[in-house]
């Protein structure tokens, strides 16, 4: 039998750790002296102690180590499988961190690119729209992809309805994001129309409305000015827009941001965002 100090020296597990592992039922001593309370470990427990130390040094959670030690027929029989599973989790987390680092690098670089911001007086603009609910968290990739696809379908369907009625859109389409609510954001997919249509045009899913005469603050960001942005990132043009709102000390009645994309190709385009300031 080995006393706790001897067992600690051989296995590399500290006395404090051994006491903790005893309390957590990960590695119990073979015997405890009733008079002194000293813990004694059997020689065959050295292998178990060395395996536990190796797993803990590798970052395997104590709860998992305890499960393996409690269920294995021989000490460490499943240690290799446990370690491999932990390695896979660590590798997946490292990949996630690498992707997050890359995304953060792209966002910070894009925010450093100067963005042109101007004031623009606008006449009333009738429009028709459809709503799509978009996940508020960019990490919900599948849902985000589905929502983007649905938005494209809504734009296409509205365009087809307008063309079918002999009405061509009077300008570039735009999107409007509403406030986040219960994990989703309401996205309005809007086409401008030459005149205001009947309220029931396009069916119950279609919104027929009009932007009033207004003064907008408009930020324009060119794709050639900065790096490609990760999916779901707040666009630098939006950030620049609110920078200028702050600088001008504008009191916004509505923080609704309208965003449109202007250009002929995926590499040569501009993102324009606008907000009503009065």
pLDDT at 139 over 70: no
- Read off the pLDDT of each residue in 2-30 and give the average, rounded to a whole number: 93
Q: What is the mean pLDDT of the chain?
A: 86
pLDDT of residue 144: 64
pLDDT of residue 10: 94
pLDDT of residue 264: 61
Q: At a CB cut-off of 8 Å and minimum separation 6, what does 264 contact?
A: none
Pair of tokens at residue 192: 């401008």
pLDDT of residue 115: 87
pLDDT at 146 over 60: yes
Domain ranges of the chain: 2-86, 116-276
- CA triplet 228, 232, 235: central angle to 5 degrees? 60
**Is residue 218 a contact partner of residue 235, using CB atoms and an 8 Å limit?**
no
* Helix, strand, or coil (residue 27): coil
**Is residue 220 a contact partner of residue 154, using CB atoms and an 8 Å limit?**
no
The C-alpha atoms of residue 224 and residue 102 are separated, in whole angstroms, by: 19
Output DSSP code: residue 213: S
Q: How confident is the model at residue 151 (pLDDT cuts 50, 70, 90)?
A: confident
The C-alpha atoms of residue 172 and residue 188 are separated, in whole angstroms, by: 14
Q: Read off the pLDDT of residues 210-232 as tens digits, 9 standing for 90 and up.
A: 999 999 999 988 877 667 788 77
Give the helix ranges, DSSP H, for 2-140: 4-11, 15-23, 45-57, 62-71, 79-111
pLDDT of residue 75: 56
pLDDT of residue 261: 87
Considering the chain, what percentage of its residues have pLDDT values greater than 90?
47
**Bigger pLDDT: 179 or 201?**
201
CATH code, 116-276: 3.20.80.10
Dihedral sign of CA atoms 115, 145, 206, 163 in order:
positive
Name the CATH code of domain 2-86 (choices 3.40.190.10, 1.10.1660.10, 2.40.110.10, 3.40.50.1260).
Answer: 1.10.1660.10
Q: Read off the pLDDT of residues 58-110 as tens digits, 9 standing for 90 and up.
A: 999 999 998 876 555 665 668 888 899 999 999 999 999 999 999 999 999 88
Q: At a CB cut-off of 8 Å and minimum separation 6, what does 95 contact?
A: none
Output DSSP code: residue 143: H
* 2-6, 238-242, 264-268: range with lowest mean pLDDT: 264-268
Radius of gyration of the chain (CA): 31
**Bigger pLDDT: 119 or 232?**
119
């Amino acid at each position: 039998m080995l006393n706790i100090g001897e067992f600690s020296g051989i296995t590399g597990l500290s006395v404090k750790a051994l006491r903790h592992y005893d309390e957590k039922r990960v590695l119990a001593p073979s015997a405890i002296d009733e008079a002194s309370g000293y813990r004694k470990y059997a020689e065959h427990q050295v292998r178990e102690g060395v395996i536990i130390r190796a797993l803990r040094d590798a970052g395997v959670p104590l709860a998992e180590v305890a499960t393996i030690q409690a269920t294995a027929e021989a000490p460490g029989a499943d240690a290799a499988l446990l370690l491999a599973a932990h390695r896979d989790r660590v590798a997946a987390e490292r990949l996630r961190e690498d992707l997050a680092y890359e995304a953060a690098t792209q966002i910070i670089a894009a925010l450093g690119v100067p963005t042109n911001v101007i004031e623009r007086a606008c006449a009333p603009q009738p429009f028709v729209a459809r709503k799509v609910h978009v996940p508020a968290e960019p990490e919900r990739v599948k849902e985000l992809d589905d929502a983007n696809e649905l938005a494209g379908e809504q734009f296409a369907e509205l365009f087809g309805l307008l063309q079918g009625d002999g009405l061509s859109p009077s300008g570039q389409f735009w999107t409007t994001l509403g406030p986040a609510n219960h994990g989703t954001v309401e996205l309005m997919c809007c086409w401008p129309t030459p005149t205001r249509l009947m309220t029931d045009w396009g069916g119950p899913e279609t919104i027929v409305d009009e932007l009033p005469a207004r003064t907008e603050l408009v930020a324009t960001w060119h794709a050639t000015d900065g790096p490609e942005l990760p999916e779901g990132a707040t666009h630098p043009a939006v950030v620049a827009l609110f920078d200028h709102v702050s600088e001008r000390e504008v009191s916004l009645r509505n923080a609704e941001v309208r965003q449109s994309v202007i250009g002929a190709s995926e590499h040569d385009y501009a993102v324009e965002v606008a907000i009503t300031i009065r």
